[in-house]
Structure 1
Amino acid sequence: MTKPVETPVATAAATAAAVREPGRGRRRLLGVAWSVTIAAVVLLGFAGYLFGLSGLQEARHQSTAYATLRDQLGKATAPTGPTTDGAPLAVLDIPALGLHQAVVVEGTNGRDLMRGPGHRRDTVLPGQPGVAVLFGRSTAFGAPFAGLAGLRPGDGIEITTGQGSFHYTVNASGDGDHPIKDSAPNRLVLVTGDSSWIPTSTVLIGARLDGDPQPLGARRPAAAPTDKALAADKGALSALQLWSLALLLVVVAAGLAARHWRRSASYLCFAPVLAALFWAVYENAAALLPNIY
């Protein structure tokens, strides 16, 4: 039986196909490698934002809030009742934690606690009759309550509001499964996460007011689901999707500009925009984490 004769055209086609097939595989592998690299860079960037840059963001908010509240205290216009979300409300000092002149803001959702310790809106203000509750982050955004579990009975807490300065003395502790039991009518409860990883429960510290309370302000509003401990701001998901889409479009635009223009000039023009978009993406992603993280 005779073998088929290979023509030069058939030989060339077979050679081209053999060369083209490894080339396709190489391109697929390169695409996967680039995808993994980009994902790793994005995740590392988020970690850098969460454990580093978020503290700078919180410090900036604290500086602005302190200046605002100091002016209000000097003019006797500081809030003594319900106020707007995120507004500066009090100055907190806990010497045993090394926490000095921390500005407490109104509200305890994830975005409020990006600014510093937050006052749970459905409780009385510190210094008023009843139980005042303050939340603070344990890991990110400056971690003002990072060492909260280390407070011991007898440690002092100083708080200044529009009604004056108040001193509390730590006398109790608890957690999410063992709430604080204290019959004192005028108390302060500090709340944070139980872990420097992803918290699954809370650390509670109770303190009694030393001295007489000041009068109550206006009636307190009800707490929203996002104000509770370990709550995530699910409303940030839609914003995260929009900012991520905007980031993707700008990345594509930067790539096209680099191909048709000077590469260095393209990157220089798009870098500030990309940095701002990455910041917005990371901030909204952080809002999806537990509010006391």
Structure 2
Amino acid sequence: MSTVTIAPDGPRHPAEVPPGPLRPTPNPALQVPGTALSILAVIALGLVCHLVLISQLAYERNQQTAFADYRAELALGTAPVGQFRTDFVDGVPGPERLVEPGSPVAVLTVPRIGLRTVVGEGTAGGVLRGGPGHRRDTVLPGQAGTSVIMGRRAAYGGPFRDLDLLVPGDTITATTGQGTHTYVVTGVRRPGDPAPAAAAADQGRLTLITALGPEFMPTDVLRVDAALASPVQPTPARRFGSGSIPAAEQAMAGDPDAWTPVLLWGQALLVAALALTWLRARWGRWQSWIVGVPVLLALGVATADQAVRLLPNLL
């Protein structure tokens, strides 16, 4: 009988093992442009997401906070009624100080378009992220003279989106530290329409201003004029006029002060993108993207939030 001998299995000689696929060596000449394109894509995506979605949520949150703060000021009788305000400590008045930009100064209600919003002091792009703003060189609603309030048409809630639907005879109410004041719309002005005659010394007027044109692509300015129908309230002495407010508070102006935070957030975004490139070369594509994409999106949204200030303030 013949015997068949089977050789025991053992490890193959290294020469017998077929070579596996080699990981390609990263090419810096391709990685650097790829990183730059990733940064631009994240900034663009963050800007679009912020304007369309996140800014609406930010507007709602800012309005809730501003309404709670302003309601408390109205209850305590400390709401500002002029360009300056006085703080009280234990019932003793302190020195006067300028009303800070963004401080709530009125609650505006327009029944025709279902609008009820808190108005902040100032009209720069940063202030209008929280809602409409009162131009600081004009009187407050209810006082003698013309009070000007600006608001965005599309971004950050677009509170003034439907101003063009107002018609003469519609009512507008504004609640300030001097009470509730009623206005009656007298006209809607588009580019080329004549401006109304100046208000008399004992009359009050309200002008609402927003952008005109497609959403996020404004072409000009829309104005709504309204006459005060309730009693005129005392007007505190004004310390500065239109020549004292910065250009960033004019209609359709950008805010150049936003460049510093934009650059700082942009640098953070650049560092994060470079770190993601480094991790991709060591962890792999999917692992690095899972970790890095949320960070890039968060930094992109923060950068976009400041970059919006560079755009027209009525956007």
**CA distance change for structure 1 residues 225 and 201 in 2, over 3 Å: closer, same or farther?**
same
User: Are 2:223 and 1:204 equivalent residues in the alignment?
Assistant: yes
Matched residue of 1:208: which SS?
A: strand
User: Are 2:255 and 1:229 equivalent residues in the alignment?
Assistant: no
What residue number does 2:17 align with?
A: none
**TM norm structure 1:** 0.82
User: Are 2:258 and 1:242 equivalent residues in the alignment?
Assistant: no
Residue 179 of structure 1 contacts residue 204 of structure 1 at CA under 8 Å; is this kept in 2? no
User: Are 2:106 and 1:93 equivalent residues in the alignment?
Assistant: no
**CA distance change for structure 1 residues 167 and 264 in 2, over 3 Å: closer, same or farther?**
same
Q: Which has the larger radius of gyration?
A: 2
C-alpha deviation, 1:268, in angstroms:
6.5
What residue number does 1:120 align with?
A: 135
Matches of 2:262 and 2:313, distance apart in 1 = 17
**CA distance change for structure 1 residues 277 and 37 in 2, over 3 Å: closer, same or farther?**
closer
Matches of 1:34 and 1:48, distance apart in 2 = 21
Matched residue of 2:120: which SS?
A: strand
**CA distance change for structure 1 residues 238 and 45 in 2, over 3 Å: closer, same or farther?**
same
**1:43-122 equivalences in 2 (<5 Å):** 43-82=44-83, 83-100=99-116, 102-122=117-137
User: Are 2:293 and 1:277 equivalent residues in the alignment?
Assistant: no
What residue number does 1:140 align with?
A: 155
C-alpha deviation, 1:27, in angstroms:
9.5
- How big is each residue's C-alpha offset from its partner over 1:23-65, in whole Å with a ceiling of 9 and x where there is no partner? 99x9978986776566445323311211111111111111110
- How big is each residue's C-alpha offset from its partner over 1:154-211, in whole Å with a ceiling of 9 and x where there is no partner? 1110110000000100012213443531444310000000022322310000000012
C-alpha deviation, 1:137, in angstroms:
0.2
Residue 135 of structure 2 contacts residue 148 of structure 2 at CA under 8 Å; is this kept in 1? yes
Residue 42 of structure 2 contacts residue 300 of structure 2 at CA under 8 Å; is this kept in 1? no
Residue 206 of structure 2 contacts residue 228 of structure 2 at CA under 8 Å; is this kept in 1? yes
What residue number does 1:8 align with?
A: none
What residue number does 1:194 align with?
A: 212
User: Are 2:164 and 1:149 equivalent residues in the alignment?
Assistant: yes
C-alpha deviation, 1:273, in angstroms:
4.6
Matches of 1:159 and 1:202, distance apart in 2 = 22
- How big is each residue's C-alpha offset from its partner over 1:195-251, in whole Å with a ceiling of 9 and x where there is no partner? 223223100000000122111124153321111101011221232122111111122
More moved, 276-285 vs 249-258: 249-258
Where do 5+ consecutive residues of structure 1 fail to align? 1-22
Matches of 2:29 and 2:288, distance apart in 1 = 27
Among the aligned pairs, what percent are the same residue? 40
Residue 192 of structure 1 contacts residue 203 of structure 1 at CA under 8 Å; is this kept in 2? yes
**1:156-167 equivalences in 2 (<5 Å):** 156-167=171-182
Matched residue of 1:187: which SS?
A: strand
Matches of 1:176 and 1:57, distance apart in 2 = 31
More moved, 253-262 vs 177-186: 253-262
Residue 186 of structure 1 contacts residue 208 of structure 1 at CA under 8 Å; is this kept in 2? yes
C-alpha deviation, 1:256, in angstroms:
2.4
Residue 43 of structure 2 contacts residue 304 of structure 2 at CA under 8 Å; is this kept in 1? no
**1:178-189 equivalences in 2 (<5 Å):** 178-184=193-199, 185-189=203-207
Matches of 1:251 and 1:206, distance apart in 2 = 49
Query: Higher helix share goes to which structure?
Result: 1
User: Are 2:183 and 1:168 equivalent residues in the alignment?
Assistant: yes
More moved, 271-280 vs 194-203: 271-280
How many residues end up aligned between the 2 structures?
Answer: 269
Where do 5+ consecutive residues of structure 2 fail to align? 1-23, 84-98
Residue 35 of structure 2 contacts residue 274 of structure 2 at CA under 8 Å; is this kept in 1? no
